[in-house]
Structure 1
Amino acid sequence: MRILHVLDHSLPLHSGYTFRTCAILKELGRLGLETCHLTSPKHRGAFAELENVDGFAFYRTPAPPAWESRLLGPWAVVWALERRLDELIPKLKPDVLHAHSPALNGLAALRAARRHRLPVVYECRAFWEDAAVDHGTTTEGSLRYRLTRALETYVFRRADAVTTICQGLKNDILGRGIAEAKVTVIPNGVNAEEFAYGGEADLELGRKLGLEGKTVLGFIGSFYAYEGLGLLLLALPAILAQRPQVKVLLVGGGPQEAELKALSYRLQLTEAVVFTGRVPHDQVPRYYRLVDAFVYPRLPMRLTELVTPLKPLEAMAQGKLVIASDVGGHRELIRDGETGILFRAGDAAALAEAVLKALAARDLWPALRARARRFVEQERSWRASVARYLPIYEKLLAHARAA
Structure 2
Amino acid sequence: MDVSDLRVALFTGNYNYVRDGANQALNRLVARLLSRGAAVRIYSPTVAKPAFPATGDLIGVPAVPIPGRAEYRFPLGIGPRKRADMRRFAPNIVHVASPDILGHAALSVARRRNLPVVASVHTRFETYPRYYGLAFLEPVVEALLRRFYRRCDAIFAPSESMAQVLREQRMSFDVGIWSRGVERDIFTPDRRDPAWRQSLGLRDDVPVIGFVGRLVMEKGLDVFSDAIDHVTARGVPHQVLIVGEGPAREWFAQRLPEAVFAGFQMGADLGRAVASMDMLFNPSVTETFGNVTLEAMAAGVPVVAARATGSENLVQDGVTGRLVRPGAIDRFADALTAYCTDEAARAAAGAAGRRVSERYGWDQVNDALIAAYLRVVRARAAGGRPPVRSRRPDRL
TM-score grouping bracket, smaller chain normalisation:
0.7 to 0.9
Give yes or no for the alignment of 1:156 onto 2:158. Answer: no
Please tell me whether the aligned partners of residues 36 and 58 of structure 1 are also in contact (alpha carbons under 8 angstroms): yes
For residues 24-65 of structure 1, the C-alpha deviation after alignment (integer angstroms, 9 at most, x for no partner) is 2233334443322111xxx352499xx99254331110238x
For residues 199-220 of structure 1, the C-alpha deviation after alignment (integer angstroms, 9 at most, x for no partner) is 23150x3233111333211112
Distance in structure 2 (CA, Å) of the matches to 1:62 and 1:47: 16
Give yes or no for the alignment of 1:326 onto 2:318. Answer: no
Whose helix proportion is higher, 1 or 2?
A: 1
Distance in structure 1 (CA, Å) of the matches to 2:356 and 2:334: 26
TM-score (norm 2): 0.81
Please tell me whether the aligned partners of residues 99 and 106 of structure 1 are also in contact (alpha carbons under 8 angstroms): yes
Residue in structure 1 matched with residue 356 of structure 2 by the alignment: 375
TM-score (norm 1): 0.80
Give yes or no for the alignment of 1:395 onto 2:386. Answer: no
Residue in structure 2 matched with residue 45 of structure 1 by the alignment: 47
- Tell me how far 1:273 sits from its aligned partner: 1.3
CA distance 1:394–1:329, shift in 2 (3 Å): closer
Residue in structure 2 matched with residue 212 of structure 1 by the alignment: 203
Q: Describe the SS at the equivalent of 1:158.
A: coil
Please tell me whether the aligned partners of residues 212 and 242 of structure 2 are also in contact (alpha carbons under 8 angstroms): yes
Residue 130 of structure 1 aligns to which amino acid in structure 2? T
Give yes or no for the alignment of 1:13 onto 2:18. Answer: yes
Identity, % of aligned pairs? 23
- Tell me how far 1:335 sits from its aligned partner: 0.8
CA distance 1:195–1:29, shift in 2 (3 Å): farther
Residue in structure 1 matched with residue 134 of structure 2 by the alignment: 139
Match of 1:107 among 104, 107, 126: 104
- Tell me how far 1:254 sits from its aligned partner: 2.1
CA distance 1:153–1:240, shift in 2 (3 Å): closer
CA distance 1:289–1:383, shift in 2 (3 Å): same
CA distance 1:4–1:212, shift in 2 (3 Å): same
Match of 1:232 among 224, 234, 247: 224
For residues 149-177 of structure 1, the C-alpha deviation after alignment (integer angstroms, 9 at most, x for no partner) is 33322222221222222334333433454
Residue in structure 1 matched with residue 283 of structure 2 by the alignment: 297
For residues 346-401 of structure 1, the C-alpha deviation after alignment (integer angstroms, 9 at most, x for no partner) is 233322221222233322333322221222222x3323322222332212332444
Residue in structure 1 matched with residue 7 of structure 2 by the alignment: 2
* Residues 7-156 of structure 1 aligned to structure 2 (within 5 Å): 7-39=12-44, 43=45, 45-46=47-48, 53-63=53-63, 77=75, 80-81=77-78, 83-134=80-131, 136=132, 139-142=134-137, 145=138, 147-156=140-149
Residue in structure 2 matched with residue 171 of structure 1 by the alignment: 164
Residue in structure 2 matched with residue 360 of structure 1 by the alignment: 341
* Residues 156-305 of structure 1 aligned to structure 2 (within 5 Å): 156-177=149-170, 180=173, 182-201=174-193, 203=195, 205-213=196-204, 214-240=206-232, 245-264=237-256, 270=257, 272-279=258-265, 283-298=269-284, 303=286
Q: Describe the SS at the equivalent of 1:388.
A: helix
Distance in structure 1 (CA, Å) of the matches to 2:113 and 2:255: 54
Q: Which runs of 5+ in 2 are unaligned?
A: 1-5, 65-73, 384-396
For residues 183-203 of structure 1, the C-alpha deviation after alignment (integer angstroms, 9 at most, x for no partner) is 212123324344333423150
CA distance 1:237–1:5, shift in 2 (3 Å): closer
CA distance 1:178–1:89, shift in 2 (3 Å): same
Distance in structure 1 (CA, Å) of the matches to 2:166 and 2:52: 35
- When the two structures are aligned, how many residues end up with a matched partner? 369
Distance in structure 2 (CA, Å) of the matches to 1:243 and 1:27: 50
RMSD: 3.1
Please tell me whether the aligned partners of residues 301 and 349 of structure 2 are also in contact (alpha carbons under 8 angstroms): no
- Tell me how far 1:14 sits from its aligned partner: 0.8
Distance in structure 1 (CA, Å) of the matches to 2:49 and 2:80: 18
Distance in structure 2 (CA, Å) of the matches to 1:175 and 1:345: 19
Match of 1:309 among 253, 265, 290: 290
Distance in structure 1 (CA, Å) of the matches to 2:107 and 2:229: 53
Distance in structure 2 (CA, Å) of the matches to 1:7 and 1:167: 23
Distance in structure 2 (CA, Å) of the matches to 1:274 and 1:47: 28
